A = this chain, B = another copy of it.
Amino acid sequence: MEIAPIQPVDLAKAYRLLNHGPTVLVSAHHGGTDNVMAAAWACPLDFDPPKVTLVLDKATATRTLVEGSGVFALQVPTRAQASLTRGVGGESLADAPDKLARHGVELFRMDGHVPPLVAGCAAWLSCRVIPEPHNQQTYDLFIGEVVAAWADARVFKDGHWMYEVADPAWRSLHHVAGGHFYAIGEPVSG
């Protein structure tokens, strides 16, 4: 397999990985178990240190891993991963123990970070949960601090998305409903 040109992203610019509102994959590891789910409800919350909000339903297996380990990763899947994204979003590890293999999810790890990362994504954010039990119980709302971020230099470079010049297979996915997405489109200056 080709070694992807994964490069660190300056934490001060990590918000840009999520600022355009892509659907993300959430990954976590605890007690020997890895899992990955899809989430459209993830959003930047702060610049410095970068923080994010993430909604994790109580029914998800990933939530149990996040609560157990206190850490998770967000990653930005690509148009080429639309089927994978729909697949891991549509079933729970509780019902489908082989879901990662069946949907072609290949995991890798970064030294010093517990959550597994999904190969082939455009960007990755390693996060630690800032415990807010009221938000978590009442709203299923988790707050995370981004402790490290990386991107594939073929689509995000020097702090900027390169969608207009990268292969369209790299474009981010924006879920509407029922496994139907829009890919991100053309640049517009205000």
Residue numbers of A with Cβ under 8 A of B are 16, 19-23, 40-46, 51, 53, 55, 79, 82-83, 85-87, 89, 132, 134-135, 139-141, 143, 159-161, 163, 171, 173-177, 179-190
Contacts and interface: CB of A to CB of B under 8 A. Distances in A.
B141 A190 contact: no
A40 B15 CA distance: 11
Integer count of this chain's copies in the complex: 2
21 contacts: A16-B177, A19-B175, A19-B177, A20-B174, A20-B176, A21-B40, A21-B174, A43-B43, A43-B55, A46-B139, A79-B188, A82-B188, A89-B190, A134-B134, A161-B182, A163-B182, A173-B188, A179-B189, A180-B189, A181-B189, A183-B186
Contact of A185 (B132, B141, B176, B186): B186
Given A188-B82, A190-B82, A51 B139 contact: yes
A69 B85 CA distance: 40
A137 B46 CA distance: 13
A79 B185 CA distance: 11
Task: Give me the 9 closest cross-chain CB pairs, A-B, nearest first.
Answer: A21-B21, A86-B190, A185-B185, A20-B174, A43-B43, A179-B190, A82-B190, A183-B185, A181-B188
Given A19-B175, A21-B40, A163-B182, 4 more contacts: A16-B176, A43-B55, A180-B188, A181-B189
Contacts of A41: 43-45
A102 B77 CA distance: 39
Contacts of A177: 16, 19, 159-160
Contacts of A182: 20, 161, 163, 184-188
A61 to B, nearest CB: 20
